[in-house]
Copies of this chain bind each other. A is one copy, B any other.
Amino acid sequence: MPNATPFQTGLRQHRRKLTRGRQVILDIITQATRHLTPAEIYRQARDKYPQLGLTTVYRTLDLLVELGYAQRVHLEESCHSYLIATRAHGHHLVCSTCGRAEEFAECDVNALVRLLESRTGYAIDAHMIELMGKCPNCQTKLRAHNARKK
Chain A interface, DSSP helix/strand/loop, else mixed: mixed
CB atoms of A84 and B116 under 8 A apart: no
Interface residues on A, range: 35 or more
Contacts A81-B72, A84-B69 given: A123-B128 contact, CB under 8 Å? no
Query: Chain B residues near A131 (CB, 8 Å)?
Result: 109, 112-113, 116, 122, 124, 126-128
CB atoms of A130 and B73 under 8 A apart: yes
How many copies of the chain does the oligomer comprise? 2
Query: Chain B residues near A133 (CB, 8 Å)?
Result: 117, 122-126
Query: Chain B residues near A77 (CB, 8 Å)?
Result: 79
A69 CB to nearest B CB, Å: 6
A100 to B98 alpha-carbon distance, docked (Å): 34
Most chain B CB atoms below 10 A, which of A65, A72, A84 = A84
Query: Chain B residues near A106 (CB, 8 Å)?
Result: 112, 115-116
| A104 part of interface (Cβ distance < 8 Å) | yes
Residues 69-100 (chain A) with a chain B CB within 8 angstroms: 69-85, 88, 90, 92-96, 98-100
Given contacts A74-B79, A124-B131, 10 further A-B contacts (CB under 8 A): A32-B83, A33-B100, A35-B81, A35-B83, A68-B85, A68-B88, A70-B85, A78-B79, A121-B139, A126-B131
What are 16 A-B pairs with beta-carbon distances under 8 A?
A29-B84, A32-B84, A34-B98, A35-B83, A70-B85, A71-B83, A72-B80, A73-B83, A74-B80, A75-B81, A76-B96, A79-B79, A102-B120, A121-B135, A125-B133, A127-B130
